[in-house]
Amino acid sequence: MKNESEFIGKLLSANQRDEAFKKLLDLYQKRLYWHIRKIVITHENADDVLQNTFLRVYKSLPNFQQKSTLSTWMFRIAYNESLRFLEQNKNKYYDSVEEVQQKYLNNLVSDSYFEGDEVQLKLHRVLAQLPEKERQIFQMKYYDDLKFREIAEITEIAEGTIKTLYYKSVGFIEKQMLDAELLVKN
Amino acid sequence: MDSKEKNIDKIHKKELGFDLPEDYFLKSKNQILSKVSTNKETKIIALLKHKMVWFAAAGIALIFAIAVYKQQAIPSIKNMPVLVLDTLNTDKNLNMANYSFFEEDVLIASLFVSDNNVEIFVSNAFIEDVVTDEYLDEFIVEELMNEDLF
């Protein structure tokens, strides 16, 4: 973002904060929604988490130390809020956050805001086979268009490890898609 | 809406089959802004609530202090106001001859005690009287022994 420090200054200033926050919503609402949606799967879940994310962003703005870019900081909040949501929904029936995600994926067909066909369902199944961290890294890079350095900051994993895990997951997905005839080998 | 934003919607719909309610982002933006402003108000209420806790604590402390003070304020003959004690002492001296001042002391002192505390006061006075009698008996026995010895 051009003039990010000026914009951050407005967000931190008491009398310009509300106006700047509206602008912040316009800039990041969609990107954060889609980032969250891929983790919590359903629209209802994503809507809840998106609202919590922006509330937390608003509350935490006075503590924003500008050690990372505003974008990375917000993605990190969104990512943590999504994981917190899954953790809260784990309850007594599931042992792990992955199982909760699997439950949402299994119910995807009956979700009123899922319009995918068999091909898209197969892609979801392939992605679900990836270990949790690898899936999130792949999605952040491929769908959210984040840089490796940004993903490293968001997930608190070393950048080198992020790159390794990303290329490993790309290889896995390609193989699975070829096997499922979702891709044709050139 | 720039091409990147259009693209992000498209890729999620096309590749992952994710859909959204119509005008979702506009409605969501308004909801978030309304929650943010509610949150500000809640903060003020929370601050007031915090103050109310202090008021409540102060109130409880005050009630406790009054209760302790009242308990201590239930008079015994010993801690009657000076004027009352003077009156009692005068009476005591006058009635020394017939040694019947105790009942009258209690009656006079009880006039300065509220109805609720009369029972406790009388009981305290009775205990004081028994202790005094006991002390006098011991004193008399000692006096008699001294007389016998010398």
ipTM of the complex model: 0.84
A124 vs B77, which has greater pLDDT? Answer: A124
Q: Give B-chain residues touching A31 at CB under 8 angstroms.
A: 5, 8
**Closest alpha carbon to A58 in A23, A6, A33, A84:** A23
B109 vs A172, which has greater pLDDT? Answer: A172
Query: Quick check: A26 and B29 CB within 8 A?
Result: yes
pLDDT by residue (tens digit) across A9-24? 999 888 899 999 999 9
Query: Quick check: B35 and A29 CB within 8 A?
Result: no
Per-residue tokens: B31: 């909801």
CA distance A91 to chain B (A): 26
Per-residue tokens: A31: 């990107």
In B, minimum Cα distance to A109 occurs at: B17
CATH number belonging to the domain at A116-186, selected among 1.10.4080.10, 2.160.10.10, 3.40.50.300, 1.10.10.10: 1.10.10.10
Residue B77 DSSP SS3: coil
Domain boundaries, chain A: 1-114, 116-186
Place of tokens 């969501």: B28
Domain A1-114 CATH assignment equals 1.10.1740.10: yes
Residue A48 DSSP SS3: helix
- Which of A7-11, A92-96, B141-145: highest mean pLDDT? A7-11
Specify which residues B18 forms β-bridges with: A114
> At residue A119, does pLDDT exceed 60?
yes
**Closest alpha carbon to A75 in A123, A126, A131, A137:** A137
At residue A151 the predicted structure's pLDDT band, cuts being 50, 70 and 90, is very high
Rounded to whole angstroms, the Cα distance separating B129 from B133 reads 6
DSSP 8-state class, residue B116: G
Query: Quick check: A116 and B36 CB within 8 A?
Result: no
Kindly list the residues of chain A whose beta carbon comes within 8 Å of any beta carbon in chain B: 18, 21-22, 25-26, 29-31, 33-34, 37-38, 43, 47, 50-51, 54-55, 58-59, 108, 113-117, 120-121, 123-124, 143, 145
> At residue A72, does pLDDT exceed 80?
yes
Tell me the Ramachandran region of residue A178: left when phi exceeds 0, alpha when psi lies from -120 to 50, beta otherwise: alpha
Query: Quick check: A26 and B19 CB within 8 A?
Result: no
Residue A123 DSSP SS3: helix
Domain boundaries, chain B: 6-71, 82-149
A95 vs A65, which has greater pLDDT? Answer: A65
CA distance A5 to chain B (A): 22
Sign, Cα dihedral of A134, A136, A137, A141: positive
A167 vs B85, which has greater pLDDT? Answer: A167
What are φ and ψ of residue B100, in 5° steps? -120, 35
DSSP 8-state class, residue B18: B
Residue A114 DSSP SS3: strand
* Cα atoms in the Cβ-side hemisphere of radius 13 Å centred on A70: 24
Tell me the Ramachandran region of residue B73: left when phi exceeds 0, alpha when psi lies from -120 to 50, beta otherwise: alpha
At residue B102 the predicted structure's pLDDT band, cuts being 50, 70 and 90, is low
> At residue B62, does pLDDT exceed 90?
no
In A, minimum Cα distance to B22 occurs at: A113
At residue A110 the predicted structure's pLDDT band, cuts being 50, 70 and 90, is confident
CA distance A90 to chain B (A): 23
In A, minimum Cα distance to B15 occurs at: A120
